[in-house]
Amino acid sequence: MSSNLDSGKGGITQQGALRLEYSIIGLGILALIMIFQPFSLALFTIGSILVVIAGLVNNLLPMAQPGVQTRSIITVAMVVAMIFGITLLIAMFAASLYGIFFLKPPDPNTTAGKIQLAATPWYLHSFTWTIAVITAVLAGLITLRSRNKA
């Protein structure tokens, strides 16, 4: 038995397309509500993260059409996530170059300078490698999906 989201070979149904579209738009509205609420800084933080996610997920809105294959929607979502990962890595590299070329190096005679010089470089942090591995895995999965489709 197929669900409303995927009706076999025909792709998503009208109801599934509407549900996908309303979910994407609802995520953006929820993010904005969380940002502009005056009660909690934690909700503001979560809302700020959701705004970025909602902006990325908005790339799926053109896919919210009846008859679009669920496989296509998943592939587009993976491509968007991969591009975001590549953009994060490039941004970290650019920030590092900015620091190297335009900022005064830390003074090793001060406590703050000693701490800064002892800090782990950005390219050795686990966050950087996690983003790089996730991006590489997504690239591999997208390649495998395109080969299996042909």
**Cα separation of the two ends of the chain:** 27
CA distance 23 to 60: 11
> Is the whole-model pTM more than 0.75?
yes
Q: What is the pLDDT of residues 1-29, one digit of tens each?
A: 445 555 456 789 999 999 999 999 999 99
Q: What is the pLDDT of residues 81-111, one digit of tens each?
A: 999 999 999 999 999 999 999 999 999 999 9
Share of the chain above pLDDT 70, in %: 93
For the record, the structure tokens of 111 come out as 């406590």
The 10 Å CB-count burial string (b at 16+, else e) for 92-118 is beeeeeeeeeeeeeeeeeeeeeeeeee
Give 28-32's long-range contacts (Cβ < 8 A, gap of 24+).
28/54, 28/55, 28/58
Q: Where are the domains of the chain?
A: 1-67, 69-150
Residues 139, 82: contact at Cβ < 8 Å?
yes
Residues 108, 114: contact at Cβ < 8 Å?
yes
